[in-house]
Structure 1
Amino acid sequence: MSEQKYDVIVIGTGPGGEGAAMKSAKGGKLVAVVEKYGRVGGGCTHWGTIPSKALRHAINRMMEFNRNPAFRSLGRVARFSYPDLLRTAESVIAQQTAMRRDFYDRNGIPVYRGTAAFIDAHTLEVRGTGQDPVRLRADHFVLATGSRPYRPADVDFNHPRVFDSDTILSMAYTPESITIYGAGVIGCEYASMFRNMGCKVNLVNTRDQLLSFLDDEITHALNYHLRDQGVVIRHNETYERVESASDGVVVHFKSGKRIKSDILLWANGRTGNAQGIGLEDLGIRPNGRGQIDVNANYQTALPHIYAVGDVIGYPSLASASYDQGRFAATHLVEGRCESRLVEYVPTGIYTSPEISSVGRTERELTDACVPYEVGYSWFKNLARAQITGKTVGMLKLLFHRDTLELLGIHCFGDQAAEIVHIGQAIMSQQGEANSLLYFVNTTFNYPTMAEAYRVAALNGLNRAR
């Protein structure tokens, strides 16, 4: 059996693995990566962020066409099947994969295809389909194996009408109705998408409120707009069993309710991919959710083995995973790393309308007895929103009543995930540079959505005075 020696081996080529591999190579290390699947990019590129957001974009463009008065007056209506809409994501995935493959080629990083397992603390065995096993030795390892949808044992995911958030992206037909079990970020995003396609949507929430980590006002707005679009939301429901048949799926709930639909999308939790790697034999024991404990430098129980991304849990975001990979590699290369994830990682939730926030919520500030005030800008009053017809939504600024320091930014509406970064940049400044007055005294392009900051700042300043 052949054996190769490297300074660093990274397992997984998603955002966390890519960040670790590139930083290690730039630091002069001899690096190799192991990828289980045929193409680099990980779940983010092939089953998660990229295809789902490309699908959302295609659905939104179809909606815009159908709602445009000019096309409606001509009697033209765009109707695309779910597989047709999915195909629009394929070109994006191909572009992303080719770009990321080029990163490894240009940095001289070989990609070993197959499943990796530790033989000892410094040796991996990689088994690929149709090829002999390869043994790889290294001084350091970075685990970036990602996560997968949680699948309860009593739900038959082999049934053609039962899907999770990975397999839904290969569904070959257009359903008339769907039940989504789990109203987290993924569940809410898919509820928006399928409803905008014209499907009847049942969104089942195991808790009493949608996305309770958000500011309450944003949560209530999301709840209202989903219902206004026709989504049926069931709060505080827990399944008892799932009955699958040739003509649909019936979910039986402990409350006695039953919901039948064409398909079921199970979107209730994720599990870290930490099994089958041989970690337990090394003394690294994942928790019940398949997640690995790490210290501030992303080191596991064995200091030469690092872990980053979804496999270590929160915040489980592609953006944060890439940074974690870079920070782990910096510590690995230099023996220290002064950089850390920002205190408040921005959230981007791609429902329709979009949601994004950074910083503290009203609930958190109230509990902490912080004297704060609120500034609002309603999109319906912005010229740019009126021009584009995207008038649903608002920007909400939370700031200290006495110092005018920005404490939280919450946005609901078109381009929210872009808009929030303007406020994030100011909120990250120190001292007087972090002030509501920045937005009051800054000239914004007109008409733009960014102008919402000036409007919200003036609104809040007037209220505070």
Structure 2
Amino acid sequence: MIECDLLVIGSGPAGKRAAIQAAKWGKNVYVVEKHKAVGGVTVHTGTIPSKTLRETVLNLSGWRERAFYGRSYRVKEEITAADLKQRMDLTLSQEVDTLEHQFNRNKVHITYGCASFVDPHVVEVEASDGEKQQYKAHRVLIATGTHPFRPEYIPFDGERVLDSDEILDIDDVPKSLCVIGAGVIGVEYATIFSALDVNVTLVEPRNSMLDFVDRELIEDFTHQLRDRGMNLRFGQKVTKVSREGNTCFVELENKRVIRCDMVLFAAGRMGNTGSLNLDKAGLSSDHRGRLTIRDKDTFQTEVDHIYAAGDVIGFPSLASTSMEQGRIAAFHAFERDDVYDAPEYFPYGIYSVPEMSTCGMSEEEVQERGIAYECGICRFRETSRGQIMGLEDGMMKLIFSMKTRRLLGCHIVGEGATELIHIGQAVLNLKGTMEYFVENTFNYPTLAEAYKVAALDAWNRMPPLGSD
């Protein structure tokens, strides 16, 4: 039996950050990874592959240049699945190499195999060849991530009816695609394939999508999707999915039938906890396989020395927040008194086409709290940089307190949204006011200038400083 200070189950963002942080303090750390390479869902089936696919599509399709050269413009006339995979494979290889180097440099031990609890302190790891090794850990972090939810009524076949992992390994680009589920993953893939000129239908049982995003932003986003020909079917449940030859049929509860070449089911994910033998550690999961933590300040489970972080604990399920959760868990696990609290506001990025990013309160949240406020809007086409880039769409929305003039929320849809958001994030966390944007100089021409334009838009409707 191998004894260690910290055993991390899962090598994704949360596990990696916690393991390296503990190793920097001289702790003996082991990371268990059930797949053949480190990185977890983020590197192999989630964040990195889907974002690489997005960038490949935008480049090869000439999407960003169509405002100048017409909707028929393409960098490559016929884009194949092999074209999409080529860049993805190279990127993933580089990511794995970087992670392995980081683990080795910090003297973190990696063991490959499937982990399961023997008791609260002992974890057994079974390698692919059947060999077993037990580890006695003083502290354990569960960072196993998630996998796609696969309900029984969907006839997954790995060829025409796919989940969000399988869509990355298709042999042919379909002419038509039906995406079931308008969450973050569903919206991202639906818009990416739409940018390839695939005829996409997006189905969602709710009457709206991405309910945590400011509604005005979603209205603008929805308009852009409809304007380019995407079919949005909201408020309708799927009752049956079937396949005849190379054609799929998706039946809705209103008796409408969607005929398509391929179906992507992207409605929910399940925690990777089924093989952990949680009961032997004194733990349990919910109906989606997720673990419950006591609070965000510790990331402890109901068992004191066992922690959980990342997608396996649910919302917000972001690689960026997962890394911070892993770091905080490591600080608490080893009782470090130099821990610092995570900033109040973090950005949420949605890598759709166009991309969206949001930080702080939405207009709906501000209204619910009864805060007097004013909004400022900048359309990207109003900026010189937007004109240079040929941006016909895209907007930034800033929300300010009428009383304190502090920034309350920053919401962006359009090119570069996930990069631009960090200026708003910094001002939010530093409790900055409208004056920062109005009085500071921004590089010209840049899309960042939208902050000044949006702030001035709100300024024009705000009462003068010092007035009642």
TM-score (norm 1): 0.95
1:93-132 alignment, distance < 5 Å: 93-132=92-131
Counterpart residue number, 2:353: 352
Counterpart residue number, 1:50: 48
Percentage of matched positions with identical amino acids:
39
- Residues 83 and 174, structure 1, Cα contact 8 Å, conserved in 2: no
Letter of the 1:461 partner, please give it. Answer: W
For 1:74 and 1:438, the matched residues in 2 are separated by 41
Counterpart residue number, 1:225: 224
Counterpart residue number, 1:410: 411
Task: Flag the 1:462–1:120 CA change in 2: closer, same or farther, 3 A.
Answer: same
- Residues 6 and 30, structure 1, Cα contact 8 Å, conserved in 2: yes
Letter of the 2:91 partner, please give it. Answer: V
- Residues 248 and 263, structure 1, Cα contact 8 Å, conserved in 2: yes
Structure 1 residue 108: Cα displacement:
1.3
Task: Flag the 1:14–1:75 CA change in 2: closer, same or farther, 3 A.
Answer: closer
1:317-396 alignment, distance < 5 Å: 317-334=318-335, 338-396=339-397
Letter of the 2:43 partner, please give it. Answer: T
Letter of the 1:239 partner, please give it. Answer: V
- Residues 159 and 244, structure 1, Cα contact 8 Å, conserved in 2: no
Structure 1 residue 443: Cα displacement:
0.8
Counterpart residue number, 1:286: 285
Counterpart residue number, 2:194: 195
Partner SS state of residue 403, structure 2: coil
Letter of the 2:281 partner, please give it. Answer: L
For 2:393 and 2:154, the matched residues in 1 are separated by 38
Structure 1 residue 72: Cα displacement:
10
Structure 1 residue 181: Cα displacement:
0.2
344-353 vs 77-86, which moves further: 77-86
Deviations 1:361-402 (A, max 9, x none): 111111211100011111101111111112411111100112
Where does structure 2 lack aligned partners over 5 or more consecutive residues? 464-468
Task: Flag the 1:236–1:73 CA change in 2: closer, same or farther, 3 A.
Answer: closer
Partner SS state of residue 330, structure 2: helix
- Residues 210 and 223, structure 1, Cα contact 8 Å, conserved in 2: no
- Residues 438 and 456, structure 2, Cα contact 8 Å, conserved in 1: yes
Partner SS state of residue 62, structure 2: helix
Structure 1 residue 269: Cα displacement:
0.6
Structure 1 residue 28: Cα displacement:
1.6
For 2:397 and 2:294, the matched residues in 1 are separated by 35
TM-score (norm 2): 0.95
Counterpart residue number, 2:306: 305
Structure 1 residue 125: Cα displacement:
0.9
For 1:21 and 1:60, the matched residues in 2 are separated by 36
For 2:73 and 2:430, the matched residues in 1 are separated by 52
Letter of the 2:131 partner, please give it. Answer: D
- Residues 66 and 73, structure 2, Cα contact 8 Å, conserved in 1: no
Runs of at least 4 residues off by over 6 Å: 70-76
Counterpart residue number, 1:445: 443
Deviations 1:162-208 (A, max 9, x none): 11111100111111111000011111111111111111101001110
- Residue 424, structure 1, aligned to residue 425, structure 2: yes
- Residues 33 and 114, structure 2, Cα contact 8 Å, conserved in 1: yes
CA RMSD of aligned residues (A): 1.9
Counterpart residue number, 1:234: 233
Counterpart residue number, 1:26: 24
Counterpart residue number, 1:9: 7
- Residues 51 and 89, structure 1, Cα contact 8 Å, conserved in 2: yes
Structure 1 residue 147: Cα displacement:
0.5
- Residues 320 and 341, structure 1, Cα contact 8 Å, conserved in 2: no
Structure 1 residue 158: Cα displacement:
2.8
Structure 1 residue 156: Cα displacement:
2.0
Task: Flag the 1:85–1:458 CA change in 2: closer, same or farther, 3 A.
Answer: same
For 1:93 and 1:355, the matched residues in 2 are separated by 24
- Residues 120 and 282, structure 2, Cα contact 8 Å, conserved in 1: no
Counterpart residue number, 1:276: 275
Letter of the 2:385 partner, please give it. Answer: R
Task: Flag the 1:29–1:387 CA change in 2: closer, same or farther, 3 A.
Answer: same
Partner SS state of residue 35, structure 2: coil
Structure 1 residue 159: Cα displacement:
4.9
Structure 1 residue 77: Cα displacement:
5.1
Letter of the 2:425 partner, please give it. Answer: Q
For 2:158 and 2:74, the matched residues in 1 are separated by 40
Where does structure 1 lack aligned partners over 5 or more consecutive residues? none
Letter of the 2:313 partner, please give it. Answer: I
Task: Flag the 1:73–1:105 CA change in 2: closer, same or farther, 3 A.
Answer: closer
- Residues 12 and 36, structure 1, Cα contact 8 Å, conserved in 2: yes
Structure 1 residue 94: Cα displacement:
0.8
